[in-house]
Amino acid sequence: MKLILLGPPGAGKGTQAKQLLGLLGIPQISTGDMLRAAIANETALGMEAKEYMDAGKLVPDEVVVGLVKDRISKSDCSSGFMLDGFPRTVPQAEALESALNEDGKKIDNVVLIDVEDDELVGRITGRRSCGACGAIYHLIFSPPPKEDTCACGAGGLIQRADDNEETVRQRLSAYHQQTAPLVDFYRDRGVLKAIDGTKKTPGEVFNKIKYELQLES
């Protein structure tokens, strides 16, 4: 299955992707994670992306499109993949569509997790993740078993540099202006599955996703 997880920052795309991973066994491709890895490795691409990310702006299309095209051509993506945080603009979606078309492939499902802005701000500012295994926590809604320590036992919990209130507002505005048009883009192609994630637990959202994708419950 070739799946896209669409939704505003903090909607729970990463949280749901980790659940789906266990069920579908296809790789999760997070452009945010790839860009953060490039920053950590101090590559030229990472240094360019950092300025945009710190400001809460989208990284230029050609940068992320290049990363994704390269990633989906790897052998572990041959029976499917799950895109988390990509595409985020109509040109990115068009570039993905034509890259897949060249191989006679297409996106099968786009799951939109929609959540109201006011709820997203609290989710993002409370987000913490494990520096070792990448597990996602929330200080209030999904706290770690022991303060500041991941259940994996190997990592301390970190807060992303861009997960502050000021940057979040900018990211939400980028979402509404540049990413929200993808809802119609994928509805027109008959692959959109929209889920209302406002005031729903991660478990409730996961059940809705399984229902929409007709996966066993």
* Contact (CB, 8 A) for 172 and 117: yes
In which element (H, E) is residue 15 found?
helix 13-24
SS3 state of residue 97: helix
Nearer to ligand ADP, 104 or 205 (CB): 205
Which positions touch ligand ADP (CB under 6 A)? 7, 9-15, 31-32, 35, 52-53, 56-59, 64, 85-88, 92, 123, 126-127, 136-138, 141-142, 171, 197, 200-202, 205
2, 36, 50, 88: the catalytic one is 88
Nearer to ligand ADP, 24 or 104 (CB): 24
> Residue type at 1?
M
18, 160, 187, 200: the catalytic one is 160
Where are the extended beta strands (E) located within the chain? 2-6, 28-30, 81-84, 109-114, 127-130, 136-138, 157-158, 192-196
Nearer to ligand ADP, 104 or 120 (CB): 120
Active-site residue flag, 105: no
Q: How far is the CB of 216 from ligand ADP (least distance, A)?
A: 21
DSSP-assigned states of every residue in 158-210: E--TT-SHHHHHHHHHHIIIIITHHHHHHHHTT-EEEEE-TT--HHHHHHHHH
Active-site residue flag, 127: yes
Nearer to ligand ADP, 8 or 26 (CB): 8
Q: How far is the CB of 125 from ligand ADP (least distance, A)?
A: 9
Active-site residue flag, 171: yes
Q: How far is the CB of 41 from ligand ADP (least distance, A)?
A: 16
Active-site residue flag, 88: yes
In which element (H, E) is residue 18 found?
helix 13-24
Output the six-digit token pair for 211.
């229902």
Nearer to ligand ADP, 142 or 191 (CB): 142
50, 123, 127, 208: the catalytic one is 127
2, 36, 171, 208: the catalytic one is 171
2, 13, 36, 50: the catalytic one is 13
* Contact (CB, 8 A) for 17 and 83: no
Cα radius of gyration rounded to whole Å, the chain: 17
- Of all residues in the shown chain, the one whose CB is closest to ligand ADP is 32
Active-site residue flag, 36: no
* Contact (CB, 8 A) for 201 and 138: no
Active site residues: 13, 88, 127, 160, 171
